[in-house]
Amino acid sequence: MTDENNPHLLPGKAAVTSAQPKRGFDRWWFLVAIVALLIIYLITAKPDPFRRMLVFIADGVRITLLVTVSSFLFVMVLGLIAGLGRLSKNPVISTIASVYVEVVRGIPLLVQIFAWYFAFPSIIQSIGVKFHIPAFENYLANPVGMAILGITFCYGAYMSEIYRAGIQSIARGQMEAARSLGMTHFQAMRYIIIPQAVRVILPPVGNEFVSMLKDSSLVSAVAVADLTRRGREFISQNFIPIEGWTLVALVYLMMTLFASRIVTWVERKTRIVR
The yes-or-no verdict on residue 8 having pLDDT over 80 is no
pLDDT digits (tens, 9 = 90+) for 118-150: 999 999 999 999 998 998 988 988 999 999 999
- The answer to whether 231 and 244 have CB atoms below 8 angstroms apart is yes
> Within its chain, how far is the Cα of 165 from the centroid?
17
Mean pLDDT of 109-113: 96
All domains of the chain in start order, with CATH: 49-268 (1.10.3720.10)
Looking at residue 118, its pLDDT comes to 94
Looking at residue 165, its pLDDT comes to 94
Looking at residue 9, its pLDDT comes to 40
- The answer to whether 217 and 226 have CB atoms below 8 angstroms apart is yes
Looking at residue 28, its pLDDT comes to 87
Looking at residue 223, its pLDDT comes to 87
pLDDT tier at 271 (50, 70, 90 boundaries)?
A: confident
The yes-or-no verdict on residue 273 having pLDDT over 80 is no
pLDDT digits (tens, 9 = 90+) for 156-182: 999 999 999 999 999 989 998 998 989
Return the minimum-mean-pLDDT range out of 7-11, 18-22, 92-96, 153-157.
7-11
CA distance linking residue 80 with residue 74, whole number of Å: 10
Looking at residue 272, its pLDDT comes to 60
Looking at residue 22, its pLDDT comes to 54
Three-class SS of the chain? CCCCCCCCCCCCHHHHHHCCCCCCCCCCHHHHHHHHHHHHHHHHHCHHHHHHHHHHHHHHHHHHHHHHHHHHHHHHHHHHHHHHHHHCCCHHHHHHHHHHHHHHHCCCHHHHHHHHHHHHHHHHHHHHHHHCCHHHHCCCCCHHHHHHHHHHHHHHHHHHHHHHHHHHHCCHHHHHHHHHCCCCHHHHHHHHHHHHHHHHHHHHHHHHHHHHHHHHHHHHHHCCCCHHHHHHHHHHHHCCHHHHHHHHHHHHHHHHHHHHHHHHHHHHHHCCCC
Looking at residue 13, its pLDDT comes to 40
Looking at residue 10, its pLDDT comes to 41
Looking at residue 110, its pLDDT comes to 95
CA distance linking residue 265 with residue 25, whole number of Å: 10
pLDDT tier at 38 (50, 70, 90 boundaries)?
A: very high
Angle between helical axes of 52-87 and 194-215 (0-180°, round to 10): 140
CA distance linking residue 236 with residue 65, whole number of Å: 23
pLDDT digits (tens, 9 = 90+) for 15-34: 434 444 456 778 889 999 99
